[in-house]
Amino acid sequence: MRDWNTQARNRQARLARAAALARANGGKEVAAADAGALLEAVLEPGDRVCLEGNNQKQADFLARALAELNPEKVHDLHMVQSVLALPEHIDVFERGVASQLDFSFSGPQAGRLAKLVSANQIRIGAIHTYLELFGRYFVDLTPRVSLVCAQAADRAGNLYTGPNTEDTPVIVEATAFKSGIVIAQVNEILDSLPRVDIPGGWVDFVIQSPKPHYIEPLFTRDPAQISEIQVLMAMMAIKGIYAEYEVNRLNHGIGFDTAAIELLLPTYAESLGLKGKICRHWALNPHPALIPAIEAGFVESVHSFGSELGMEAYIRARPDVFFTGPDGSMRSNRALCQAAGHYACDMFIGSTLQIDLAGNSSTATLGRISGFGGAPNMGSDARGRRHASPAWLKAGREARAGRNLIPRGQKLVVQMVETFREHMQPAFVEKLDAWELAESANMDLPPVMIYGEDVTHILTEEGVANLLLCRTDEEREQAIRGVAGYTPVGLGRDRRMVENLRDRGIIRRPEDLGVDKRLATRDLLAARSVKDLVRASGGLYDPPKRFRNW
């Protein structure tokens, strides 16, 4: 007779090996000094391990303990984690503790990751979007052991994540219900928690870390750094896209371009009479730059992937807008917010590094394997969507006009770039650097952030190209060249064709949109400094020190 319970019995064996390390109170609490011993006891070579590395909060203490394990005892781990953010996330490979990797995003560690891949110290299974990787946690990449991170635990092992809930629920769910082992690092152990985000029954061990876990303020954009070009582009976005499509449910990228849009809502959008007509519901982290729009009454709701340092008190004071628990603090959830952004939003708008002639966009550069994160889930048409909205229907109509197709809608996916980015690098290119990276790192595919077939609009300081209205590949290429400014791609335009596209409203310049360039000054921003954001919040926003100039 076949044994149908090997996983659970293996789990029991692991727990038994660690039993001596756990203290009283249900045997879940382990001393920080015993973290390495605990990991050695529960881990087996070849295990699939999820080390909670989000793009904001980090299980940094457990990451260090894992990286310091003896590779003769623990080796060949298969790491399945969404973000490689800390040096320790790479150290585990360099030291020979782990050898295989499936992940989503590696921003700050992209250079080291590329080096170790070329030295064969890391085998990458695949680079995923967040939802893909979370999905695979429940299919073929289920973690055997997960090392997660929370603000506090109680004696029973219940966890309180605080506002940065992020990936924790999805990781713990996948691990705990497939006979895996969940170890949590917490900042403090309390007798009673403000609220329970993860039930104690799903958590096996709790370690109070010597220092609070690290959180990166990733979504704070100092309005002082927004340029007048960005103000102009934000005006075009509001008048030429938000207003025309009545965009009410949306996600923004994290760049200065979209921060400019957020800061123009209470001024420019208000002057166009758009309050209550656009931008009411958001799948968005609590961007400080959104404070003036919230205060002006533009924003009805915001659901978040994670939180943002310094926004805690402001969020607590605006529970009608944010998702908060009975304790008053925010609850975020990356997996659910990604799903919301994909299916329930009418628009994604964000920036990129390179766009090719087909509208494919990529942030890949040679020598760095940076991955994707959330943009591809946000920035792609949700082909499983069935509910209608004015924005979705209008985009669908534009894409299908004159063709004998069954009616359906389409998500607006807007790429907003200045024609030249830092160091005068052109944002428009004939061939993406992603091709070269794919070749050098032996990838199956060039890493494309947003596929051209999903992009509906490209917005530059030269104008808006509406790709929905293009009918041939050639039109599409000329529409892109027609807003690519003085880049080689832009200079290579067919002038007559571009004028024709402009006559048909496929390319629109600021003057075609009725946008007065003379108004595009920083005076139009609802906040011109971080301090203005603090003022707008009534003193509730408490920015991290690095963003202050007072």
Partner 1 sequence: MSSYYEASARERLHALFDRGSFHEFLPPSERVVSPHLVQLDTPAAFDDGVIVGRATLDGRPVLVAAQEGGFMGGAVGEVHGAKLVGLLERARDEKPAAVLLLVESGGVRLHEANAGLIGVSEIMRAVLALRSEGVPVVVLDGGQFGCFGGMGIVARLCDAIVMSEEGRLGLSGPEVIETTCGVEEFDSRDRALVWRTVGGKHRYLLGEADAIVADDISAFRAAAIHLLDTKPDLSLEALTAEHERLGARIEKFGALRDALDIWSALGVEKPENLPLLEADAFRAAVDGKRA
Q: Quick one: 512 exposed, middle or buried, by C-beta within 10 A (0-12, 13-18, 19+)?
A: middle
Of residues 372, 314, 311, the one with CA closest to residue 338 = 372
Of residues 358, 346, 438, the one with CA closest to residue 394 = 346
Q: Select 291 or 484, whichever has its Cβ closest to partner 1.
A: 291
Q: Smallest distance, Å, CB 523 to partner 1?
A: 8
Q: Smallest distance, Å, CB 229 to partner 1?
A: 16
Q: Give residues 83-142 in contact with partner 1 (rule: CB under 8 A).
A: none
Q: Give residues 521-550 in contact with partner 1 (rule: CB under 8 A).
A: 522, 528-529, 534, 539, 545-550
Per-position x/- string for 234-263, each x denoting binding to partner 1 as judged by CB under 8 A, each - no binding? ------------------------------
Q: Smallest distance, Å, CB 419 to partner 1?
A: 23
**How is residue 22 annotated by DSSP?**
B
DSSP codes, 116-133: HHHTTS-EEEEE-BHHHH
d(CA 255, CA 350): 7
**How is residue 300 annotated by DSSP?**
-
Q: Select 84 or 530, whichever has its Cβ closest to partner 1.
A: 530
Residues binding partner 1: number (CB under 8 A): 12
Q: Give residues 356-415 in contact with partner 1 (rule: CB under 8 A).
A: none
Going from the C-alpha of 463 to that of each of 181, 412, 419, 430, 517, the distances in angstroms are 53, 17, 10, 20, 12
Q: Tokens 């958590």, residue?
A: 203
Q: Smallest distance, Å, CB 547 to partner 1?
A: 7
Q: Select 198 or 534, whichever has its Cβ closest to partner 1.
A: 534
d(CA 334, CA 47): 25
Q: What value, to the nearest 5°, has the Cα angle with vertex 363 and ends 358 and 365?
A: 105
Q: Tokens 């506002």, residue?
A: 163
Q: Select 509 or 535, whichever has its Cβ closest to partner 1.
A: 535
Q: Smallest distance, Å, CB 530 to partner 1?
A: 9
Per-position x/- string for 218-237, each x denoting binding to partner 1 as judged by CB under 8 A, each - no binding? ------x-------------
Q: Select 277 or 522, whichever has its Cβ closest to partner 1.
A: 522
- CB-CB contact of 122 with 113 (8 Å): yes
d(CA 254, CA 257): 8
**How is residue 90 annotated by DSSP?**
H
Q: Smallest distance, Å, CB 195 to partner 1?
A: 29
Per-position x/- string for 478-517, each x denoting binding to partner 1 as judged by CB under 8 A, each - no binding? ----------------------------------------
What sign has the CA pseudo-torsion 45, 48, 53, 55? positive
Q: Smallest distance, Å, CB 306 to partner 1?
A: 23
Host H or E run for residue 269? none
Q: Select 281 or 528, whichever has its Cβ closest to partner 1.
A: 528
Give me the residues paired with residue 249 across strands.
281
Q: Smallest distance, Å, CB 212 to partner 1?
A: 18
- CB-CB contact of 374 with 305 (8 Å): yes
Q: Select 120 or 549, whichever has its Cβ closest to partner 1.
A: 549
Q: Quick one: 210 exposed, middle or buried, by C-beta within 10 A (0-12, 13-18, 19+)?
A: exposed
Q: Select 310 or 359, whichever has its Cβ closest to partner 1.
A: 310
Q: Select 150 or 536, whichever has its Cβ closest to partner 1.
A: 536
Going from the C-alpha of 204 to that of each of 147, 183, 191, 436, the distances in angstroms are 10, 6, 18, 45
Q: Select 322 or 547, whichever has its Cβ closest to partner 1.
A: 547
Q: Smallest distance, Å, CB 548 to partner 1?
A: 5
Q: Select 124 or 224, whichever has its Cβ closest to partner 1.
A: 224
Which pairs count as long-range contacts for 467-476, CB under 8 Å and 24+ apart, including other chains? 467/359, 468/395, 468/398, 468/399, 468/410, 469/398, 469/401, 469/504, 469/505, 469/506, 470/506, 471/402, 473/358, 475/501, 475/506, 476/358, 476/359, 476/452
Q: Give residues 22-61 in contact with partner 1 (rule: CB under 8 A).
A: none
Q: Select 178 or 531, whichever has its Cβ closest to partner 1.
A: 531
Q: Smallest distance, Å, CB 550 to partner 1?
A: 5
Q: Smallest distance, Å, CB 289 to partner 1?
A: 17
Amino acid at 425: Q
Per-position x/- string for 179-218, each x denoting binding to partner 1 as judged by CB under 8 A, each - no binding? ----------------------------------------
Q: Select 226 or 480, whichever has its Cβ closest to partner 1.
A: 226
Q: Smallest distance, Å, CB 278 to partner 1?
A: 28
Q: Give residues 268-327 in contact with partner 1 (rule: CB under 8 A).
A: none
Q: Smallest distance, Å, CB 539 to partner 1?
A: 6
Rg over CA atoms, the chain: 24
Q: Give contact residues for partner 1 (rule: CB under 8 A).
A: 224, 522, 528-529, 534, 539, 545-550
